[in-house]
């Protein structure tokens, strides 16, 4: 049981709207805290500074995956189909953050959102959320992120290539397309799963393909049919050159998609990728020397070269760093930044604000900084 769980009947209530000027006017009474801080103590769903949501239902999808229905509180800012959301769960008195794709339709009636999670047997957070988080559990919600999204309006022809839990952001897009008025685009979905009983959304996908004329569905079970190949893409979608392509899944699948595009001379700008593996980092800028990283809760400090990820630095210093990339689970390495700035090892861009969730596998130090881990 989490440290804070609302009564089961509470999720049916909606947090009241509170005008910003009313809260601002009360600020002088609550200094040094803000009125929002006190609202969050009374009810986490009333906080705008630390958005939260309450689990209203847990729906099993497979033996090791579930969909959580979440009712966001006052601070939730919305999302686009295909984006992911950082989720904080309180376990053993500490907040643990992971990131999951949103599988619901934005701005749906009632305002609930859904995330679909596959439990990692070696993990801590995902097994709890999949198997042991009851309705009434309060979760923290970060801002929705990601550019792997459904355009508005969508292109006339679309190809989705997914594997495993890579179907989750695409499921949100398909549900959004199914709820749109007017003509839908022509969509082909090539999805791979180990076995039928391990295929997320199998019944819903089959039902949708049978119900609407615009979706062509090809399910591949790798334990019997083997993994998707370059030739399979061409055979299953002969007009793929005319389509915009979205691919999401493990590195092996994305390599096949990229190889196919190069082989068929398909324009790279037609490809949208959500990867489970970070790209190779660029060389650090001349004169960049990294910085000293302090791991606040662990009480450890270490020098971190500019070209080394914060994840590697922490592990080398003996800090128990969260991670997921090596198991095909992206964004398992998120930790809050307390102070300082970081450098994105993929792009070279410098960023960081207090409280920002830092993906430690693809960010390095650029000067002294403190991480809450």
Q: Residue 180 above 60 pLDDT?
A: yes
pLDDT for 23: 46
Would you say residue 284 lies in a domain? no
Residue entry with tokens 């596959």: 118
- Specify the pLDDT at position 333: 82
- Taking only the tens place, the pLDDT of each residue in 263-293 is 555 566 788 988 754 444 455 554 567 999 9
**What integer best gives the mean pLDDT of the chain?**
83
Domain boundaries, position 328: 291-371
**What are 268's two structure tokens?**
């790279």
Query: Structurally, how many domains does the chain consist of?
Result: 3
Measure the CA–CA gap between 3 and 256, rounded to whole angstroms.
45
120 and 205 within one domain: no
The confidence score (pLDDT) of residue 90 equals: 87
Whether 152 is covered by a domain: the verdict is no
Q: Which residues lie across from 291 on neighbouring strands?
A: 304
Helix, strand and coil in the chain, % to nearest 5: 30, 30, 40
Length of the chain, please? 373
Sorted by sequence, the CB contacts under 8 Å of residue 61 that are 6+ apart come out as 67, 116, 200, 201
Helix axes 35-42, 20-30, angle to 10 degrees: 100
Residues 220-246: what's their mean pLDDT?
92
| Two tokens, residue 345 | 């090892």
For residues 168 and 119, what is the distance between their CA atoms, to the nearest angstrom?
14
Whole-number Å distance between alpha carbons of 373 and 370: 9
> Is there a single domain that holds both residue 229 and residue 174?
yes
Residues 297 and 364 in one domain: yes
Parallel, antiparallel, or unpaired for β 52-62 and 138-141? Answer: antiparallel
Q: Kindly report the CATH number assigned to the domain that includes residue 185.
A: 3.40.50.80
Residue 307 sits in the same domain as residue 200: no
Block residue for tokens 């949708």 = 208
Q: What is the pLDDT of residues 336-370, one digit of tens each?
A: 999 999 998 877 788 898 888 888 988 999 999 99
Asked if residue 322 lies in contact with residue 357, where contact means CB atoms within 8 angstroms, the answer is: no
- Domain end: 79, 109, 141, which one? 141
Q: Identify the three-state secondary structure at position 248.
A: strand
Q: What's this model's pTM, rounded to 2 decimal places? A: 0.70
In percent, the amount of the chain with pLDDT more than 90 equals 49
**132 and 17 in one domain?**
yes
The residue out of 275, 302, 328 marking a domain boundary is: 275
* Claim to verify: residue 195 and residue 234 sit in the same structural domain: yes
Q: Which residues contact 65 (CB under 8 A, 6 or more apart)?
A: 116, 117, 118, 119, 130, 165, 200
Co-location of 137 and 191 in the same domain: no
Q: Tell me, yes or no, whether 20 lies in a domain.
A: yes
Averaged pLDDT for residues 89-118: 89
List, in sequence order, every residue forming a beta bridge with 137; answer none if it has no partner. 5
DSSP 3-state of 149: coil
What angle in degrees, to the nearest 10, is found between the helix axes of 167-179 and 202-211?
Answer: 30
CA atoms in the 13 A half-sphere facing the CB of 338: 11
Model confidence band, residue 334 (pLDDT cutoffs 50, 70, 90):
confident
- Token digits of residue 291: 């910085």
Instruction: With residue 13 as reference, give the H or E element that holds it.
Output: none
Say whether both 302 and 346 belong to one domain.
yes
Q: Does 310 lie in the same domain as 348?
A: yes
Q: Is the pLDDT of residue 1 over 60?
A: no
Q: Strand, coil or helix: what is 139?
A: strand
Please determine, for residue 150, whether its predicted confidence score (pLDDT) is greater than 50.
yes
- CATH code: domain of residue 134: 2.40.30.10
Would residue 78 count as lying in a domain? yes
126 and 24 housed in the same domain: yes
Q: What's the whole-number mean pLDDT along residues 196-207?
A: 97
Kindly state whether residue 301 falls inside one of the protein's structural domains.
Answer: yes
Helix or strand holding residue 97 (H, E): strand 94-101
Domain end (from 240, 275, 310): 275
Q: Is residue 281 part of a domain?
A: no
> Does the residue 248 lie in any domain?
yes
56: helix, coil or strand?
Answer: strand
More confident residue, 150 or 5: 150
162 and 137 assigned to the same domain: no
**φ, ψ (nearest 5 deg) of residue 259:** -65, -40
- The answer as to whether 3 is a domain residue is no
Query: Judging by DSSP bridges, how do beta strands 65-72 and 52-62 pair with one another?
Result: antiparallel
Measure CA of the first residue to CA of the last residue in the chain; give whole Å. Answer: 23
């Amino acid at each position: 049981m989490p440290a804070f769980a609302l009564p089961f009947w509470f999720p049916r209530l909606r947090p009241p709207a509170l005008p910003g000027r009313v809260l601002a006017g009360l600020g002088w009474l609550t200094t040094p805290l803000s009125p929002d801080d006190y609202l969050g103590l009374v009810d986490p769903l009333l906080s705008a500074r630390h958005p939260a949501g309450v689990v209203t239902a847990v729906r099993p999808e497979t033996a090791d995956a579930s969909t959580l229905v979440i009712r966001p509180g006052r601070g939730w800012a919305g999302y686009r189909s295909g984006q992911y959301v950082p989720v904080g769960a309180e376990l053993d008195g500490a907040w643990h953050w992971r990131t999951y794709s949103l599988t619901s339709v934005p701005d749906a009636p009632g305002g609930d959102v859904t995330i679909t999670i596959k439990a990692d047997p070696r993990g801590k957070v995902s097994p709890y959320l999949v198997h042991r988080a009851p309705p009434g559990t309060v979760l923290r919600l970060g801002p929705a992120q990601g550019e792997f999204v459904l355009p508005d309006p969508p292109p006339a022809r679309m190809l989705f290539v997914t594997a495993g839990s890579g179907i989750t952001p695409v499921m949100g897009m398909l549900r959004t397309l199914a709820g749109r008025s007017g003509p839908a685009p022509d969509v082909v979905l090539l999805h791979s799963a180990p076995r039928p009983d391990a295929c997320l959304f199998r019944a819903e996908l089959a039902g949708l393909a049978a119900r609407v004329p615009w979706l062509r569905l090809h399910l591949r079970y790798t334990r019997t049919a083997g993994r998707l190949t370059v030739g399979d893409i061409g055979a299953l979608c002969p007009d793929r050159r005319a389509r915009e392509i979205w691919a999401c899944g493990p590195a092996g699948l994305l390599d096949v998609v990229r190889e196919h595009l190069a082989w068929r001379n398909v324009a790279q700008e037609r490809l949208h990728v959500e990867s489970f593996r970070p790209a190779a980092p660029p060389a650090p800028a001349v004169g960049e020397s990294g910085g000293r990283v302090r791991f606040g809760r662990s009480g450890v400090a270490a020098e971190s070269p500019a070209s080394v990820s914060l994840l590697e630095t922490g592990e080398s210093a003996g800090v128990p760093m969260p991670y997921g990339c090596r198991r095909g689970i992206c964004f398992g390495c998120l930790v809050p930044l307390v102070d300082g700035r970081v450098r994105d090892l993929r792009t070279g861009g410098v960023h960081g604000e207090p409280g920002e969730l830092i993906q430690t596998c693809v960010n390095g130090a650029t000067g002294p900084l403190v991480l809450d881990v």
